[in-house]
Amino acid sequence: MMAIHLSSGLSQQTEINYMSKLGEYIALKLNHVFPTLTIHNNLEVAKRNITENQKWAYDEIKRIVPAFEPYWNLRKKNILDIGTGLGGKLPYYIESGAKSVIGVDINLQNLRAAYDHIRASGLSSVIQLVQCDAARLPFPDNSFDSIISINVFEHIEKVDYAVREVYRVIKPGGLALLHLPPYYSAWGPHLENWIHFPWPHLLFSEKTLMRVAAIEDRKKHLNDQFIESARIDWQHNNNRIPGINHVTLQHFHQMVLKSGFFILQLKLLPTGYDFLNSSNSVYKKLLLQILIQATNIPILQEVIVTKMVYVLQKRLQEIN
């Protein structure tokens, strides 16, 4: 009986290994079929160089701002930017009329690069930098007129705490402008510089995706070329994609509702939104409208939505 048990165990393990290798093989084949997108090529360039990253971040915030309309108004306001990174987007807030900006980031090396950028821009008197976790902001209640966060909340480990902290430190009547992708969106795993086909996490386990990305990196050597904060540790990841919290659209929305914020506006942008929206083609415009309608269908929205764009307001009665 014991011999039979051992044989069965080995057979099962062999089957698991076979399926794992088969998954890697299929994922690699798919990866070679799909070309890299222009937006991902631009991101790759931005990850190679601090200056290029700062330029990319500046252009990115300019591209994103229209999604917050008609509520983008920073004039004479004290702003908190959560997830400042290398500081590229901070000067744009001052150009938009902000009175002052505090940028926070958990990564000290990011802030050192951001400090050099702000000083070189001559904005040290109106922009400050603070190292902290967004889940524990070192500011008093009701400190800021507006809070902005661009593509950061999907990376925060204690994301529910961070949402509550945003509510705590914003002034009554103040606006929080949040822009982030849900995990099951097309590029939710944030491995697009290595894995080129969309929704890979719907087809393969994180273990398989990490192995495939590592195989591709051995060919491209991207990790060695990237700035430190953009690198991925292939060896010590416990077969999990590092740096993401797997927050879904529904889960994040529930956090917002529980926080006490009033939702002034929520835009659910579908996959391909920027490409289709910038096209003059009647067919692409029609496809965009179909995708926008699909973002309202609960079963589909988790995978169709590429960005959640929130404009949140802290209720005025918080003054009392």
Whether 198 maps to a domain, the answer reads no
Whether 6 maps to a domain, the answer reads no
Whether 293 maps to a domain, the answer reads no
> Cα–Cα distances in Å, from 61 out to 77, 136, 252, 284, 299?
18, 25, 22, 25, 30
User: What domain count does the chain have?
Assistant: 1
Whether 216 maps to a domain, the answer reads no
Whether 19 maps to a domain, the answer reads no
Residue 319 has pLDDT above 80, yes or no: no
Bridge partner residues of 150 (DSSP)? 179
Provide the residue range defining the domain that includes 312: 42-181+245-270+305-319
Q: Which whole number is the average pLDDT over 236-264?
A: 93
Q: Which whole number is the average pLDDT over 147-167?
A: 98
Q: Are 55 and 88 in contact (CB under 8 A)?
A: yes
The pLDDT of residue 207 = 93
Length of the chain, in residues: 320
Q: What is the CATH number of the domain that holds 106?
A: 3.40.50.150
Q: Residue 235's pLDDT band (boundaries 50, 70, 90)? A: confident
Whether 101 maps to a domain, the answer reads yes
Whether 56 maps to a domain, the answer reads yes
* Predicted structure pTM score: 0.91
Q: Residue 297: which residues within 8 A CB-CB, separation 6 or more?
A: none
Whether 105 maps to a domain, the answer reads yes
For the segment 89-132, what is each residue's pLDDT rounded down to a tens digit? 999 999 999 999 999 999 999 999 999 999 999 999 999 999 99
